[in-house]
Amino acid sequence: MSISRHDALIVVDAQNDFLPGGLLPVEDGNRIFRAINAIAPSFSTVYFTRDWPAPGTNLTRFHPMPGTNGAEFSPLIDRGNAVGVIDKSGEEFSPFPGTGLADELKRRDIRRVFVCGLATDYCIKATALDARANGFDVTVVLDGVAAYDLEPDDEAKALDEMRAAGVALTESGVLLVLPARP
């Protein structure tokens, strides 16, 4: 699978609070960074999302607090080629509602989005399904995502739901093997 100028990478919520040592950690969350850092340079359009609830909302107990180390992006992620950061309100798992992301992607003539980050069974699933609902082809990079798996099969159920909605699943190595399209 090759990457073209019509493709974008969306890196979801790679924030310290969602990683080991954070307030709401995905146990093996740090494993995603090798894949993400390997594929990101292949994309000319890369967006990072962050869970960023408004100060004073009740959500801040369960989400990173803006201005804290937990709300910052992990130092393990290379954000060098990011074109933007999309702040989610904390009320949405997906960066699409209320942010203008779909319109921005369409202005850039993006037709396919690749999704990676945290967590497969929540924000990754919501992002992928909303991207499909907004008319994009969607691929989730499996070694670039990790799940909470509060129940033992939550990740499997999320992947099945995405696949049923037409979301493709791939590994980062597949993206690195094929030459990029013009």
Write down the pLDDT at residue 89.
76
Burial of 75 (0-12, 13-18, 19+ CB in 10 A): exposed
Write down the pLDDT at residue 165.
98
Write down the pLDDT at residue 181.
47
Q: Amino acid identity of 119?
A: A
Taking only the tens place, the pLDDT of each residue in 134-152 is: 999 999 999 999 999 999 8
Question: Which tokens sit at 137?
Answer: 């082809």
Closest CA to 96 of 5, 12, 180: 12
Going along the chain from its start, the domains and CATH numbers come out as 7-177 (3.40.50.850)
Question: Which tokens sit at 40?
Answer: 């990101």
- Collapsing DSSP to helix, strand or coil, 123 comes out as helix
Taking only the tens place, the pLDDT of each residue in 164-181 is: 999 999 999 998 654 444
Give the angle subtended at the CA of 14 by the CAs of 113 and 12, to the nearest 5°: 25
Write down the pLDDT at residue 54.
66
Q: What is the mean pLDDT of each run of 10 residues along the chain (182 residues)?
A: 92 97 95 96 95 66 80 94 88 92 98 98 97 98 97 96 98 72 48
Question: Taking the model in full, what pTM does it have?
Answer: 0.93
Write down the pLDDT at residue 4.
92
Rounded-to-integer distance, Cα 103 and Cα 121, Å: 25
